[in-house]
């Protein structure tokens, strides 16, 4: 894919389109070491090296991120009143079209993946792909084997019946701790499943998404780019393996 130089620099967050045009005309931009003064010339972000004011730019316009979503932020591209997960990333990710894959509720914490690859995003969310998501839930009341069975059978939630899900009880008592693995991702699904068997969810945390586990070194609110092998595993889960 080729992009105009001014658009490329603006997408990378270097400045507004008009600022960037002025800089280019003033001889501040170089592609592959050669000064370019025409903002409209097209280049290939995947192959060409870009610098501005003598400083090499990270010109990649396809990026993938793993984040430990904190509680209290919305999974949305933007919101006029409340902080969103996009606000936790540098502006460049928004301008190159990096989007969260699916949603976590405002108060849910845990793994959230972002990608610029719209096709992969779409495929990972397709219920037909059965991509597994594992959540750890703190619930009210004591969970027992009857709950495990109801999760395994598929719980009717009014507008739909949840697919069979695996519930593993880690601790049962006045409050309980459990892990649940689901293969779909309807609105408030995990909270609604527990509520349907008489247990409100007090805290919810996503431990894994498809082949990816939340890295232990990522504290709440932190993020990093996906490693090559993580991206390959995700592409495979999306049915896009390159081989």
Under the rule (CB under 6 A), what is the footprint of ligand URA? Answer: 104-105, 108, 188-191, 204
Least separation, in Å, of the C-beta of 191 and ligand URA?
4
Which residue number, 109 or 115, has a Cβ lying nearer to ligand URA?
Answer: 109
Q: Is 105 a catalytic residue?
A: yes
Which residue number, 168 or 188, has a Cβ lying nearer to ligand URA?
Answer: 188
Burial of 90: CB neighbours in 10 Å, binned 0-12, 13-18, 19+: exposed
Question: One of 105, 144, 147, 159 is an active-site residue; which one?
Answer: 105
Least separation, in Å, of the C-beta of 28 and ligand URA?
45
Which residue number, 176 or 189, has a Cβ lying nearer to ligand URA?
Answer: 189
Q: Which of 113, 64, 93 is nearest to 212 (CA)?
A: 113
Least separation, in Å, of the C-beta of 234 and ligand URA?
18
Which residue number, 115 or 139, has a Cβ lying nearer to ligand URA?
Answer: 139
> Distance between CA atoms of 67 and 47, rounded to whole angstroms?
28
106 in Cβ contact with 191 (< 8 Å): no
Least separation, in Å, of the C-beta of 128 and ligand URA?
19
Structure tokens given for 202: 């007090």
Q: How far is CA 31 from CA 28, 38, 44, in A?
A: 10, 11, 10
Phi, then psi, of 170 in degrees rounded to 5: -95, -30
Residues classed as catalytic: 105
């Amino acid at each position: 894919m080729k992009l105009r130089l001014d658009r490329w620099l603006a997408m990378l967050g270097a400045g507004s389109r008009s600022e960037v045009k002025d800089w280019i005309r003033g001889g501040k931009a170089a592609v592959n070491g050669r000064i370019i003064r025409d903002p409209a010339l097209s280049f290939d972000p995947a192959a060409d090296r870009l610098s501005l004011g003598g400083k090499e730019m990270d010109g990649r316009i396809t990026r993938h991120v793993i984040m430990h979503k904190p509680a209290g932020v919305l999974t949305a591209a933007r919101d006029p009143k409340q902080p969103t997960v996009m606000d936790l990333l540098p502006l460049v990710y928004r301008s190159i079209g990096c989007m969260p894959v699916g949603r976590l509720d405002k108060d849910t914490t845990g793994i959230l993946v972002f990608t610029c690859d719209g096709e992969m995003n779409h495929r990972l969310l397709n219920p037909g792909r059965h991509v597994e998501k594992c959540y750890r839930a703190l619930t009210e009341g004591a969970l027992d084997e009857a709950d495990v069975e109801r999760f395994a059978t598929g719980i009717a939630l009014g507008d739909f019946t949840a697919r069979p899900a695996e519930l593993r009880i880690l601790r049962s008592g006045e409050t309980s701790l459990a892990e649940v693995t689901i293969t779909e991702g309807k609105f408030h699904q995990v909270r609604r499943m527990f509520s349907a068997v008489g247990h409100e969810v007090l805290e919810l945390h996503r431990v894994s998404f498809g082949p990816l586990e939340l890295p232990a070194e990522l504290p709440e609110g932190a993020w990093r780019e996906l490693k090559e092998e993580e991206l390959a595993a995700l592409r495979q889960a999306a049915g896009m393996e390159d081989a």
